[in-house]
Structure 1
Amino acid sequence: TYLSDLVADQQTTIRDLRELMFPASTEKTEAVLKQAGVEPTPKPSSDKAGAEKPKAQKQTAGHGRNGAEEYRNAPRVQVAHASLKHGDRCPGCQKGKVYEQQEPWRLVRIVGQAPRAATVYELQTLRCNLCGEIYGADVPEGVGEDKYDDSAAAMIAQLKYGTGMPFYRLEHLENNLGIPLPASTQWEIVEEAAELIKPARDELIRQAAQGEVLHNDDTSMKVLSLRRAIIEEAGERTGIFTSGVLSTREGRKIALFFTGRQHAGENLADVLKRRAAELPMPIQMSDALSRNAPKPIKLLVGNCLAHGRRQFVQITPNFPEQCRHVLETLGEVYHNDQLARERGSSRIERLHFHQEHSKPVMDELHRWLDTQLKQNKVEPNSGLGKAISYMLRHWQALTLFLREPGAPLDNNLVERALKKAILHRKNSLFYKTLNGAEVGDLYMSLIHTCELNDVNPFDYLTELQRHSEELGAKPAEWMPWSYRDSLVRPAC
């Protein structure tokens, strides 16, 4: 395992093990430098990018972190005044008239509820005492034929694959709430629903292949049936991974997950096989590992600047002054990217902004890094020497954002997406079979894509099941960003 290999490595320090077991909550430059006992360089009063910092708005007391408008799915109850209406005489001064204000007072009241609810219908039965014929009450209108509603499968999938809660833990929770639902039954429910909504995942893959920027990375995963097969077959590749592919196009983001023996680059290559031939070459963003490259497909390759930065974060206690220079320089680049985002810059405007403000900074950093090695100011085999060599070796890919419109700075989007798989690994430990892994990948892909596009995953999964026939016929109309229009569109 990774931990045993780390312990066996002679270059591993006690600090490395401590940081692995108790990782820092943040890698912000100021926090990293202070932990190393170094004061950050004071920031100049004027902003290099010419941006004016907006004045901090005073927060109204009593409104909390989320205002009433954030409760999008909460029912709205209109409460009229008990004795006054629009245009009545003011009861205070007895002279003026009262008029309804545009914004009402809003109160938010939150109640708890179980993840699932059940209703038991007790149908009256009557039996003839002579012939023995039995007569039962009719099933009420609106009661479906299936025991488990489509919303039940959506909620189980949301809790299991969206929040990482294992089936056995869900079983225990529901049993305490008086709604018994065995773990095996929960699996059967989500597996059956997955077959109905699979066309949506296939359409996501097709649309992701048309993306302008594709991020990819992977993390280790356990699939018991594959591990047994590996032992029996003794094949060349023994690792099992969950790959994440995150595609962006026209402001929309699509997250895809693939579990198996393939690396992230191989899974990305499979996705790109569905790309339209007339589209220009997309940008691929990943770390510098060769297994992330979708061979033999040619792409505009960008490498994650955060990975290069992390090389210096890890050695800051040993080389505080040199690392401060690098971290603060990269901090300026990230600040410029944030300014471009806040201004709502287009891809071309963002590129020009970086070329004007970030390119001089990065050119100076490249000269500084090159000087450290060429003038023997740094031992090449030291931690600092290796970090500098990494940056110089991958400099072209690390600075793609200075040459290509829309090229991101880092691979953080897909790394955040992979937390879904990591959460499953931490709580459920493994998938039992490859089929179970495929079901998990399907739900994680749909759920995280919904989250990235500000769509309610529970509602989306429910409607996909209810309209599975329409989904199979026209899957493009049932994407997270378009399914609402399909719901109101009259049936042909």
Structure 2
Amino acid sequence: MAQLRYIYSMPVERIVRYFNDNGFHVNKATANGLLSKTADMFENLYTALGRAVLEDNYISCDETYYKVMDRTGNPDALNINKEYIWAMFAMNLNLAYYFYENGSSRGDVIHKKLEKYKGTVQSNGYAPYKSLRGEILRVSCFQHCKRKFLDLQGNPDADKIIELINRLYQQEHKHCIGADEWTQEDNLKWRRKYSKDIMKALKVALKRIISSPEYPPKSQMYTAANYMLGEWKGLENIFSSGIYKLDTNTIERLNRYISLSRRNSLFFVSHRGAERGAIFYSLACSCRLGGINSFEYLSDVINKAASLPPDTSLEKYRNLLPDKWSKK
């Protein structure tokens, strides 16, 4: 049931109908109750997952939204609001972690989550990421920059920026860490070699755009160039390591599961429902990243989690996460 809901993005109503059509009789209230109890059972596992992600020295962050019903103050009112779910992806461990804080997209949500983090954070140019402090190296995303110019294709200045960014990708794809004994150190040397001239040409082209009277400050072209220049330090930081990705495409692909569910299921019926969704999306997407069948994983782990005493350490749960799990 959890796999159908959170991986295949089926609404609970459709899941119930599917079960009933195949001889397993269950109603919607029972289905929701089972999912809720399972999420409660996974709380410690989910906590261990969040801790593991923050132990990775290279994470990618993003945020997406979902519609959530809010009956606060008036149980009879049907208020459906656009609320936000935050996402983190441990780039080395291949673990995904979604979290929901009453739907808030405020910067203090991600700041609090990362207040003790030490490592690299890759993100788009959303202001809360850019204002992260402490021992964090922020790297940016070329695709977010490129998309703003794709909307202006046909304009020679936009086409020039797109061509230069594409050239970075063409050079990057000539080698792959792990293939033909190519190492992280090899990749770093290669990046430093190929990126220097392309980045220099990009910066010159961007500065030409924002200094041109053809593009006033409120124009789409000026906005696109100014955004990329604002991300420049984060873009340069990508080439300070052999492993940093050129973009945040991995975590954005994961967020498609939420966007698909958003289209199919309309909304969560409460903030607690959204929190429950964050738990299941975290585990299900981590399975997908690790090439693990989420049905087999959830079926196995739910029995193991149910057998653990209340005072079980988080280290024990850590061994049940998808990157360490083995079916026995």
Taking structure 2 as the reference length, what is the TM-score of the superposition?
0.87
Task: Check if 1:479 corresponds to 2:321.
Answer: yes
CA 269–247 in structure 1, closer or farther in 2 if over 3 Å, else same = farther
Distance 1:294 1:382 in 2: 26
Query: 1:436 — aligned with what?
Result: 273
1:210 is aligned, of 55, 77, 80, to 55
Distance 1:271 1:462 in 2: 30
Query: 1:337 — aligned with what?
Result: 172
Task: Check if 1:455 corresponds to 2:289.
Answer: no
Shift of 1:157: 0.2
1:268-283 paired onto structure 2 within 5 Å: 268-273=110-115, 275=117, 281-283=118-120
2:87 is aligned, of 211, 232, 244, to 244
Distance 1:406 1:282 in 2: 13
1:436 is matched by which residue type in structure 2? G
Shift of 1:373: 3.5
- The alignment's C-alpha RMSD in Å is 2.5
Task: Check if 1:177 corresponds to 2:18.
Answer: no
CA contact (8 A) 1:347 1:406 kept: yes
Per-residue displacement from partner, 1:148-193 (whole Å, max 9, x unpaired)?
A: xxxxxxxx00000111101101122222223222111111112222
1:390 is matched by which residue type in structure 2? Y
Distance 1:160 1:296 in 2: 37
CA contact (8 A) 2:120 2:139 kept: yes
Distance 1:265 1:453 in 2: 30
CA contact (8 A) 2:110 2:128 kept: no
Unaligned runs of 5+ in 1: 1-155, 233-237, 276-280
2:248 is matched by which residue type in structure 1? N
CA contact (8 A) 2:191 2:242 kept: no
Task: Check if 1:389 corresponds to 2:234.
Answer: no
Query: 2:78 — aligned with what?
Result: none
CA contact (8 A) 1:354 1:402 kept: yes
Partner SS for 1:459: helix
1:211 is matched by which residue type in structure 2? D
Task: Check if 1:284 corresponds to 2:121.
Answer: yes
CA contact (8 A) 1:242 1:421 kept: no
Partner SS for 2:121: strand
Partner SS for 2:3: helix
Per-residue displacement from partner, 1:275-302 (whole Å, max 9, x unpaired)?
A: 5xxxxx3111111111335745452112
Mean Cα displacement is larger for which, 156-165 or 183-192? 183-192
Taking structure 1 as the reference length, what is the TM-score of the superposition?
0.59
CA contact (8 A) 1:359 1:402 kept: no
More helix by share: 2
Per-residue displacement from partner, 1:63-92 (whole Å, max 9, x unpaired)?
A: xxxxxxxxxxxxxxxxxxxxxxxxxxxxxx
CA contact (8 A) 1:214 1:245 kept: yes
CA 193–216 in structure 1, closer or farther in 2 if over 3 Å, else same = same
The structure, 1 or 2, with the larger RCO (C-alpha pairs under 8 Å, 6+ apart) is: 2
CA contact (8 A) 2:107 2:128 kept: yes
Query: 2:33 — aligned with what?
Result: 188
Mean Cα displacement is larger for which, 405-414 or 181-190? 405-414
Query: 2:158 — aligned with what?
Result: 323
1:244 is matched by which residue type in structure 2? A
Distance 2:204 2:116 in 1: 42
CA 294–158 in structure 1, closer or farther in 2 if over 3 Å, else same = farther
Query: 2:43 — aligned with what?
Result: 198
Query: 2:94 — aligned with what?
Result: 253
CA contact (8 A) 2:140 2:238 kept: no
Distance 1:381 1:438 in 2: 39
CA 296–329 in structure 1, closer or farther in 2 if over 3 Å, else same = closer
1:305-316 paired onto structure 2 within 5 Å: 305-316=142-153
CA 300–342 in structure 1, closer or farther in 2 if over 3 Å, else same = closer
2:272 is matched by which residue type in structure 1? N
1:208 is matched by which residue type in structure 2? V
Shift of 1:435: 1.8
Task: Check if 1:366 corresponds to 2:209.
Answer: no
